Amino acid sequence: MTATTRIIGPAILAATFCAGWAQAEDKVLRFATWDSDESLAIEEAIAKKFEEAHPGVKVQVEPYGDGFDQKLTAAMGAGSPPDVMYMWNFPSYKDSLLPLDDLIAKDAAELNLADIPQGLLNTAKIDGKTYGLPVGFTTHVVFYNKDMFAAAGVPEPKAGWTWDDLRADAAKFRNKDQKVYGFAVDAKPDPYDFEQFLWSDGTKYISDDGRTIDGYMNSPEAVEVLTMFADMLKTEQAVGLNIGDDTSGSTLFKGGKIAMYQSAMWSKSGLDESGMHYGVAPMPTFGSKPVHSAIDASAISIAKDTKEPDLAWEFVKFFSSPEAVKMRKNDLPVRTSVVKELGMDQDPMFKPFFDILAVSNRETHAFLKNPNWGRIQDNLAKAIEATMIDQGNAKQHLDEAVAASARFLN
C-alpha cells in the first residue's frame, strides 16, 4: 500500500499541477497547414502577428507537410481536429467543417468579400454553403532561364506561343555531355494540375455531370497531350522527372540543367532566392485553342468540433485580411486591392499569372464532380506515368485507366 502511494501520489500531484498550469496558460489555437519551408515561415509570421493583436492567445502551427491528409484524417477520426486548417478538398472534408455563411453575414463590412474574385470564393463553396475563405492561389506559367536563352541565341518566349514553339526552342538546348535539356516533363505530375493541358487542348478528365470518363480521359485530345509529352522525352527535348529519381524540376532549373520549367508560384520565391536571371512566360497553347490554367487555391477553414469557434473565426478573418494577404510571397494575393496596390498585374514577373487567371474560368476541377475521384485519379496517374516510361502507348494506358475506373463511376 505504502509503495503504491509513494508512486501514484506524486503522479496525481504532477497531473493536477500540469492541468492547473495549462488552464492558467494562454488560450491555444491549433492551426494545421500542408506547407513547409518558406511558405510555412510566412504562415508562422502571420500567426505571430495575430498573437500580437490578441494578447493571451497562442497559435500552435502544426505543419503536416506531405502527410496532410493522413494526419488530418487521423486527427478528425480521433475527435481532436485542429481548430483551423488549410483546406482545398472540400468535398472530402465538408462534414467536419464549420459552415461560415452566418459568420460572413455578421462581419460583411469588415470582410469586404467583393475584393476577392468570385471564382476563388467558389472554390470553397459546396451546395451554396461556404466552408472556407481563400487566402492565396496560383495559376501556372513557364519559367525560362534568360542567361541560357541569351547564350544560345534563342529569342525569349512571347505571349501567344504554342507547344510547337516550345518544343522547337527546347531542342536547341540539349547538351549530352553537360546533361542539359530544354525542358522537363514530370512522369508523376499532380493530376489536379495536369488537367490544365487537357483543358487547353479542348477536353477534360470527366464529363461535367461526373458520370462519364470514356471519351474524355481517353479522348483523342487527351491521347495527343500525353503523346506530346512522351515524345518530348523520346526526342530528348525534355528530361523526365520522377522516373526512378526524385530530383526536382526546380533544382534542375536553378542549376542551369533545363532552360524552361513549367511550374507555378510555389517555385518562384526559390528562384528569386537563388539569384538566377529568369523570366516568366505564359503557358503555351495547343495551336489556336484557348489556354486554360489549373487554379490552385488555398483556403482556410474551421473545424466543426472546435472548442474556440469565436477565436478561430477571428483567426480566419485575419488570415484573409489585406494585411496578411500582403505578407504572402509564395502565392498570389486573393484580394484585388492588394494586387493593384503592389502593381502586380503590370509587373512582367507576375502579369502572366493574372492574364491566364482571367481566361481560366470555363472548367471545373474533376474532384468536385465525382466523390470517387481520388480512386479514379490513381488509375489516371498510373497511365500518365506508364506513358512517360514507355515514351508512348498513351492510348493503351488511358484506355486501361478508363476500364479500371468504371466501377467507381456509379
Partner 1 sequence: MASQPAVTRPSRRKARGAGIAPWLFISPWILGFLFFTLGPLAFSFVMSLHDWPVVGQRTFVGLDNYRVMFLHDPQFWTSLGITVKFAALFVPLNIVLSFLLAVLLNLNLKGTPIYRTAFYLPSVISGVALVTIWSWLYSKEYGLLNYLLSFAGIDGPNWLGDTGWSIVAITIASLWGLGGSMLIFLAGLQSVPKELYEAARVSGVPAWAQVVHITLPMLSPMLLFTFITSIISAFQQLTIALLLTKGGPVGSTYFFAMYIYDNAFKFHDMGYAAAMSWVMFLIIMALSMLVMRWSSAWVYYEGEVRKDGDHA
Task: Select from 56-64, 67-75, 148-156, 309-317 the region that touches partner 1 (CB under 8 A).
Answer: 67-75
- Cα 374 to its chain centre, rounded Å, is 16
**Distance between CA 34 and CA 87 in Å, rounded?**
9
Give the one residue of 38, 49, 61, 73 binding partner 1; rule: CB under 8 A: 73
Residue 389 as a binder of partner 1 (CB under 8 A): the answer is: yes
Residue 77 as a binder of partner 1 (CB under 8 A): the answer is: yes
- Letters for 231-250 (x = contact with partner 1 by CB under 8 A, - = none) are ------------xxxx----
**Distance between CA 252 and CA 258 in Å, rounded?**
6
**Phi, psi (5° rounding) for residue 317?**
-60, -40
Task: Select from 66-74, 104-112, 152-160, 282-290 the region that touches partner 1 (CB under 8 A).
Answer: 66-74
Give the one residue of 36, 70, 235, 361 binding partner 1; rule: CB under 8 A: 70
CA count, 13 A, side-chain hemisphere, 409: 18
- Letters for 181-200 (x = contact with partner 1 by CB under 8 A, - = none) are ------xx------------
Q: How far apart are the first and last CA of the chain?
A: 64
Give the one residue of 2, 6, 56, 95 binding partner 1; rule: CB under 8 A: 95
Nearest distance, CB of residue 157 and partner 1, angstroms:
28
Site size with partner 1, rule: CB under 8 A: 26
DSSP string, 23-86: HHS-EEEEEEES--HHHHHHHHHHHHHHHHHSTTEEEEEEE-GGGHHHHHHHHHHTT---SEEE
Nearest distance, CB of residue 374 and partner 1, angstroms:
6
- Order of strands, sheet of 84-87, starting from the edge strand that comes earlier in the sequence: 57-63, 27-33, 84-87, 296-302, 133-138
Residue 382 as a binder of partner 1 (CB under 8 A): the answer is: yes
Nearest distance, CB of residue 363 and partner 1, angstroms:
24
- Element holding 144 (H helix, E strand): strand 140-145
Nearest distance, CB of residue 391 and partner 1, angstroms:
12
73 versus 162: smaller Cβ distance to partner 1: 73
**Distance between CA 63 and CA 82 in Å, rounded?**
11
Interacting positions 319-378 with partner 1 (CB under 8 A): 374-375, 378
Residue 8 as a binder of partner 1 (CB under 8 A): the answer is: no
Tell me the C-alpha to C-alpha distance, in Å, between residue 253 and each of 82, 88, 180, 278, 284.
37, 28, 10, 10, 18
190 versus 272: smaller Cβ distance to partner 1: 190
Residue 176 as a binder of partner 1 (CB under 8 A): the answer is: no
